[in-house]
Amino acid sequence: MAKRNHTGRTAFDFVRTIRQKTSGSVRSLGIGIRQLTSSLQLAAEPDTPRDDMLLHLGNLLDSVTTGIISLDGEGRIVVFNAVAEKLFGLPRVMVIGRNMGEIGKIMGFDDHARRALWERLTDAVWAAGAARDLEHDLLPRTGPRKVISYSVYPLGRRAWSIGNGVVIKLEDITRKREMEDQIFDARKRLLAVFDGITDGIQVVDDDFIITAVNKSMTSLLAREIKIGAHCYEACSFDVKICVNCPAEETFRTGQPVSATKKLLQTGGGTAKRERYVEITTFPLLDRFNRVVQVVEYIKDVTERVRLAERLEHSRRLAELGEMAARVAHEVRNPLNAITGAAHYLSTEYANDETLQKFTDLIKRQATRVNQVASDLLYVSKPLGIRLTAVNINAMLDQSLDALREQLRDQNIEVVRDLDPDIPSIQADELQIEQALHNILRNAVEAMAGGGTLRLSTIPAQGRSIVEIRIEDTGHGIPEHDRERIFQSFFTTKIKGTGLGLTIVQRVLKNHGGEIVIEQPATGGTRVLVQLPVQAMFGVPPIETFEGRLRSETSTSSAESFGVENATGNPITPQSTLNASKLPG
Give pLDDT, residue 205.
Answer: 92
Most confident of 51-55, 86-90, 331-335: 86-90
First-to-last C-alpha distance (Å) of the chain: 108
Residue 255 has pLDDT above 80, yes or no: yes
Give pLDDT, residue 545.
Answer: 33
Give pLDDT, residue 30.
Answer: 43
| Neighbouring residues of 439: CB distance < 8 A, sequence distance ≥ 6 | 470, 504, 527, 529, 561
Give pLDDT, residue 250.
Answer: 92
Distance separating alpha carbons of residues 17 and 162, to the nearest angstrom: 12
Give pLDDT, residue 377.
Answer: 67
Q: Cα–Cα distances in Å, from 186 out to 132, 182, 319? A: 29, 6, 57
Buried/exposed 466-505: b ≥16 CB within 10 Å, e otherwise = bbbbbbbbbbbbebebbbbbbbbebbeeeebbbbbbbbbb
Local confidence band at 578 (pLDDT 50, 70, 90 cut-offs): very low
pLDDT tens digits for range 150-187: 988 888 766 556 667 888 999 999 999 899 999 999 98
Residue 581 has pLDDT above 60, yes or no: no
Give pLDDT, residue 182.
Answer: 92
Residue 493 has pLDDT above 60, yes or no: yes
Local confidence band at 460 (pLDDT 50, 70, 90 cut-offs): confident
Average pLDDT over residues 481-486: 67
pLDDT tens digits for range 104-120: 776 666 678 888 888 88
Local confidence band at 68 (pLDDT 50, 70, 90 cut-offs): very high
Lowest mean pLDDT among 168-172, 215-219, 368-372: 368-372
Give pLDDT, residue 166.
Answer: 87
Give pLDDT, residue 469.
Answer: 92
Distance separating alpha carbons of residues 566 and 482, to the nearest angstrom: 20
Give pLDDT, residue 376.
Answer: 67
Q: How confident is the prediction for the chain on average, in pLDDT?
A: 75
Residue 505 has pLDDT above 90, yes or no: no
Distance separating alpha carbons of residues 325 and 380, to the nearest angstrom: 6
Give pLDDT, residue 108.
Answer: 64
277 and 296 in contact (C-beta within 8 Å)? no
Question: With a threshold of 0.75, does the pTM exceed it?
Answer: no
Q: 536 vs 266, which has greater pLDDT?
A: 536
Give pLDDT, residue 50.
Answer: 65
Lowest mean pLDDT among 90-99, 121-130, 190-199, 412-421: 121-130
Residue 557 has pLDDT above 80, yes or no: no
Residue 510 has pLDDT above 70, yes or no: yes
Give pLDDT, residue 293.
Answer: 93
Give pLDDT, residue 129.
Answer: 62
The alpha carbons of the chain give a radius of gyration, in whole angstroms, of: 45
Residue 17 has pLDDT above 70, yes or no: no
Residue 259 has pLDDT above 80, yes or no: yes
Lowest mean pLDDT among 55-64, 353-362, 378-387, 514-523: 378-387
Average pLDDT over residues 393-403: 86
Residue 389 has pLDDT above 50, yes or no: yes
Give pLDDT, residue 547.
Answer: 43
pLDDT tens digits for range 140-150: 777 788 899 99
Q: Cα–Cα distances in Å, from 203 out to 32, 200, 290, 297, 302? A: 46, 10, 16, 9, 23
Domains and CATH numbers, the chain: 2-134+149-170 (3.30.450), 197-300 (3.30.450.20), 306-380 (1.10.287), 388-581 (3.30.565.10)
Nearest to 296 by CA among 241, 365, 359: 241
